[in-house]
Structure 1
Amino acid sequence: MKPALIEISANTTEVVEIEIRASLEALLTGINGQYRNTQEAPNSDQYDHYRAMESAELEAEFKKFMPTLLEGVELKLDGAPAELQLKELVVPPPGYTKVPRNSVIILKGRIPRETQSLTWYYPMAFGDHATRVRQVDEANNEWHWSSHQWVKEDKPTEPFMLNEVFAKPSFAQVVKTYTLGGFQHILPKGLDHILFVLGIFLLSRRLKPIALQITMFTIAHSITLAMGTLEIISISPRIVEPLVALSIAYVAIENLFSSKINRFRLPVVFGFGLLHGLGFATMLSEFGMPTDDFVAALLAFNVGVELGQLAVVLIAYFGVAYWFSSEKLYHRIVVVPASLVIGIMGMIWFVDRLAIF
């Protein structure tokens, strides 16, 4: 007995069809792939009886079995079971009865357009199976086939992702998703980047020093974010992550000894910005990039990062700095303690990341 061949078509018309090419005789008798020769099965006589039936007769017998089939198989869309029903049953004539007769069972159901993935379960009692998924957008003449998954155990397939054609996001969705992703990489998920931005902010409450540093940092990390994502440059996280932590400690410690930008501050911030950009690129590659709207996604993510940084600065300014009229008091009460905490955390992370890698 050969494995069942299963093709699942996800149509943008919100219809899903499952075409199962299998031996109805084997399903009716429970003879599966463990038998290379059906004559080895204990109920081979019953199999031979079904094998000799004409198409209409076998179809009538199998329709009695359909509730069992529908109860046994399971299609899950984003983890939720889909309701399936028989659409069509195609049974060939008997032909040469010494070889298996492959019939076609077509099931159908509904698949919402927002579905991102599907899994398929075909019980081992029905036999092993090779399954693949086709995404169909007939309106735009687009198709995409997945590779086959051959399942030889009593378990579902691994998830088939539907983002090539079926659930391919629009340009507006790409921009929204990656802008939000960039923002969230700063707030609330990017504590190391938050502390670096705060370290820059704490040097002075005046707009010009803050703007100069943020501008240098933005230019630098934008360069390496693009180069890293495009795979023009690649540096191991084993190097980047400890240095990012060290950059946090450096700007914080420098704040303890200076209240204005010296001639080394901007080049140092620029250099550290290059490191942070490589960190952003690593995260973005894990997040995944769309094929068609790659540039838009890259720019949107960068915009999200900038919005996140701006939010950190505004929160710090209006939450703390705005309420101090004395620079000396602000430096003593806010800058020194905050910079000490940030510097210590940066050094702890630096040591931890060296140990991890």
Structure 2
Amino acid sequence: MYEAHQYAPLGDGTVRCSLCAHRCRIADGKHGICGVRINRGGTLYAATFGRVAAEAIDPIEKKPLFHFLPGSTSYSLGGVGCNFRCRHCQNWEISQSSIDDLPLFEISPERGVERANAGGAASISWTYNEPTIWHEYPLEMGALAREQGLGTVYVTNGYITEEALAELAPMLNAFRVDIKAFSDEFYRSVCSARLQPVLDATVAAHEHGMHIETVTLVIPGLNDSMEEMRALISWVVENLGPDVPMHFTRFHPDYRMRDREPTPLRTIEKILQCARDLGIRYVYAGNVPPGDYENTFCPSCGALLIERSGFSGRIMGLEGDRCGDCGERIPVVRSV
């Protein structure tokens, strides 16, 4: 197996992993919470380096990323395991599986870049399960991808440490982060994690110059109060700025949370309006009926700039990174 980055020996064969905010203390023969970083004889190994559970070429809008290479496709890879235990996980078949549960196939970093180019993708995304725990694999593939002009994307829960993020920063373009709630109690009871490390990593990614978009799945009765939503939106405005796109997605019952009803559309609409009122200039809804919920409009003159339907995006009124009608600069990454 591939020796891991981001760990230190503690003596007696025990190591401390510094990849994610759990900072697991791992005894010889054991693995971290993620299940894929294994201590053998005092050396920590990345057991899933190059081992893939899911591969596809997706529209970038599926991530969802609306202001990063809009209208393009992204070569997308997922592995197994996660450092969260979300009771509502929609990819639980791979995220809550172990190395031995699923048939994994090998794709080297070099081969991944070749397949991205062959498929006409503009970027590579590490997604489907948590990319943080795959650290060494996207780090190598991403460096190769950047040399060939491909964009690089993490679709992440944001539980990465600042030192691990700093190691990724030279190669990582986009940090599409789930901020699952604005309550530590939610993170502890629903995800077996904490809120503050996610906020810290998101600010650090922003400071490293990565493109940031946030996603919050709105779950009735758990994180849907307007008080909590106002606190989350205000935090984004104050710490990331009003131009960071925010996505609010309707919940549907899944995994171990099948006892709740889907989010009412009216709740999502109220949150979108709240975000606009608090200064967010680009706010979107997911898992909603067709309409303007996912379209991008110029915040200055109201012109339609990017039209979206399903997972496809079509450039309408953008000229480079400016509104074609009024010239307002739009924070959208058109090339890397």
Higher strand share: 2
Higher helix share: 1
Task: Verify same fold: TM over 0.5.
Answer: no
Q: TM-score range by the shorter chain?
A: under 0.3
- State the structure with bigger RCO (CA 8 A, min sep 6), 1 or 2: 1
TM-score in terms of structure 2 length: 0.25
